[in-house]
Structure 1
Amino acid sequence: MQSPLAPARLAALILTLLTLAGCASNVSGPGAVRYYWQSLRGHVQLMQAAEPIDQWVARDDISPALRERLQLAQRARAFAVAELGLPDNASYRRYADLKRPAAVWNVVAAPPYELKLHTWCFPITGCIGYRGYFSEADAQAEAAQLAAQGLEVEVYGVPAYSTLGYMNWAGGDPLLNTFIVWPEGDFVRLLFHELAHQVVYAEGDTLFNESFATAVERIGIAQWLATQASEPARAAAATSEARRSAFRALTRATRARLSAIYEQKQAGAQSESPLLAMKAGAMEAFRADYAALRARWLAPHDGAPPLATTAQVAGYDRWVAKANNASFAAQAAYDELVPAFEALHAREGGDWPRFYDAVRQLARQPQAQRQEALRALLPAPH
């Protein structure tokens, strides 16, 4: 295990984390102090648990599967730099086993008749639509307070998070046990996603930032699978992507239906009782459509094996069971503008440095202006 941070390094870490976690404009008092302390303590523990991958690979007390996966991570990290133009720095060159299923637990919330995330405001990240905790119990307590205010809430485990490159001086963001065992395609694409946050980050624009990183992961993983992966890995990734795409289409359709209902509320065209019934109907239809989709995934087809096992759909099952406005609004941030960024990448001839420069130019614009520019790039609906 890495030795404790020296006092000067620890002081710098505290300042960096407080800048990242923020002197929140909408959080103050003892609650803010407790939040900063858990952020600092949790991140220090995570950093101190990390060791260089080379040291892990050289150990004789790890499983062959973990050794293979760490070596895969090294190849993917080199590919990210050489082929995708992602940062060549300290991040994802160390590994930590946190002995828990998530790196942090995020809290998201939304009003009962809006697909708009509640936000927390911080100096560097700006106002973002989630709040992370290193303890699930703390996240649940925050969610309970928000629910008491009438908001719809969700708490979900996050396998990795980015410190936006600010922690590279201290060893960078490490690989974690929370996602190291994922299938190759999902594992590698997450590395690309998190590294993308270190390339461009627009303060206070979660939709922009997550859609950009998701576009990088999608384009990047396609390149990886085409040139680096084995045939079984490509087949598994294609099946996983087919499930992901079908589920995204279902949730997009439900978001559109809910948005149309909520627009009637904002226009004052309906009283709350009919709106509540329409909302319940939309959610019931969503769950029924998912049940049908799930059945197709699990059923053999023309002698071929099913597209999924019950274990592979368990995450979708949990998401659907808890789905509410907060869930749908959080998901929108990860896919709503992705086609626009993919179109921008194509417009720049697939040249990664040119693409990143174009994204940086957008990030320097006012939020409304850059989102308008991206929406102009969205393909026309079929």
Structure 2
Amino acid sequence: MIARSRRRYRLMLPLIRALILASILGFLQGCSTLSYYSHSIGGHLQLMGQRQPIPELLRDPQTPEPLQRKLRQVGEIRHFASAALALPDNGSYRSYAALDREAVVWSVVAAGRFSLQPRQWCYPFVGCASYRGYFSQERAWAYAGELQAQGLDVAVEPVPAYSTLGWFDDPLPSTVIDWPEARIAGLIFHELAHQQLYVKHDSAFNEAFASLVAEVGIERWVANRNGLSFAQWQVTRQREQQFVDLLLAVREELETLYRQPLDEARMGQRKAALFRQLRERYARLKRRWGGYAGFDGWFDRDLNNAHLVSIATYEAWVPAFRRLLVQSGGGLPAFYAASRELGQLPANEREQRMRQLLQPAAE
């Protein structure tokens, strides 16, 4: 009888996982309709079905040499993540999925016309998040159109990879395999950090934590690699930080504007002016960089509040976590423990503590 029950459980396990998938893929859920659940479950299971273990691909003589070279790097990065950064040692990013599209999913972000507060979508188990994802670009844009019809500012962003928070062994998708080595490393560190710590209902906390782990991880990875230029990475990182600082500064100016008692017409004019100034300030920044155009793609669209919401979600608390790392003595296990303690605080206390951490960084 016991053996029969175990067999029945093993047979039902794929169905059980499929049924709970709609709850555990936080950024992929947000609608109770069967069509959305079906889309999310089907897309994820298709991705899981395309996984191939990296060791098998390395042994396969049919695997092209450039791909083998990249996969060997991925294996080294994955080992480093657990051995040197104390990130989860599991099956995630030890397999590869060859896809025929530019992104794994497309994320929809929305905010009010005169607001920088992101719309929230809430899900069982993982809580609320400020984005909703689709495996189909067409479906993402269709939903974005519905939100735009409600008067919201909307952004649709390609997402090159995602984490299931340890519920599944996530593969490295082909959407990122041609990235520079340090950038692939940062992505793996970032996604594994979500498995290390995830706080319900707090996207900004989760993304900033993962971004800081990725930042530290890349620095230590590059310093550990003879073939990579640490000085070159520092230049890249400096440019990225200046770009983010520019976006956060304009975001703050918009927040100040939206608190003013203006009618919609005047508010709209000043909002448009600030977005024009953003482009002008970026052009000046490019001249300082000697014409480096690595962020031009971000500006190749009609910008709105939702684009700045996404940036803030990932970056606003990073300086606070950087300060917490210093307070933790620079050791990642101690930093993880301190971050977990913050995550266990009530939301208002956690935000107050994060703001306190920001103060020394601003002095």
TM-score normalised to structure 1 length: 0.88
What residue is the counterpart of 2:172 in the other structure?
175
What residue is the counterpart of 2:285 in the other structure?
293
For the pair 1:185 / 2:182, whether they are aligned, the reply is yes
Change (3 A) 1:285 1:157: same
- Contact 1:207-1:337 within 8 A present in 2 as well: yes
C-alpha separation in 1, matches of 2:87 and 2:226? 19
For the pair 1:158 / 2:141, whether they are aligned, the reply is no
For the pair 1:342 / 2:322, whether they are aligned, the reply is yes
- Please, what is the CA RMSD of the aligned residues? 1.9
How far 1:380 moved relative to its partner? 4.5
Q: Which amino acid aligns with 1:182?
A: W
Matching of residues 172-321 of structure 1 within 5 Å: 172-232=169-229, 234-264=230-260, 269-299=261-291, 308=292, 312-318=294-300, 321=301
TM-score normalised to structure 2 length: 0.92
Matching of residues 111-130 of structure 1 within 5 Å: 111-130=112-131
C-alpha separation in 1, matches of 2:227 and 2:297? 26
- Contact 1:87-1:195 within 8 A present in 2 as well: yes
What residue is the counterpart of 1:381 in the other structure?
362
Q: Which amino acid aligns with 1:19?
A: S
C-alpha separation in 2, matches of 1:25 and 1:136? 15
Matching of residues 319-338 of structure 1 within 5 Å: 321-338=301-318
Q: Which amino acid aligns with 1:212?
A: F
- Unpaired segments ≥5 residues, structure 1: 1-5, 300-307
C-alpha separation in 1, matches of 2:334 and 2:151? 45
Identity of aligned residues (%): 40
Q: Which amino acid aligns with 1:20?
A: I
Q: Which amino acid aligns with 2:356?
A: A
SS at match of 2:195: coil
- Contact 2:29-2:133 within 8 A present in 1 as well: no
Q: Find the partner of 2:345 among 365, 376, 379.
A: 365
Number of residue pairs matched by the alignment: 352
C-alpha separation in 2, matches of 1:154 and 1:351? 37
How far 1:236 moved relative to its partner? 4.2
C-alpha separation in 2, matches of 1:21 and 1:335? 22
C-alpha separation in 1, matches of 2:202 and 2:352? 13
Q: Which amino acid aligns with 2:263?
A: S
Q: Find the partner of 1:9 among 3, 7, 13.
A: 13
What residue is the counterpart of 2:5 in the other structure?
none
Change (3 A) 1:141 1:288: same
How far 1:229 moved relative to its partner? 4.8
What residue is the counterpart of 2:6 in the other structure?
none
C-alpha separation in 2, matches of 1:228 and 1:202? 33
SS at match of 1:353: helix
Deviations 1:22-80 (A, max 9, x none): 7x99734xxx2111101111011101100110011112223322111111111111111
C-alpha separation in 2, matches of 1:164 and 1:119? 19
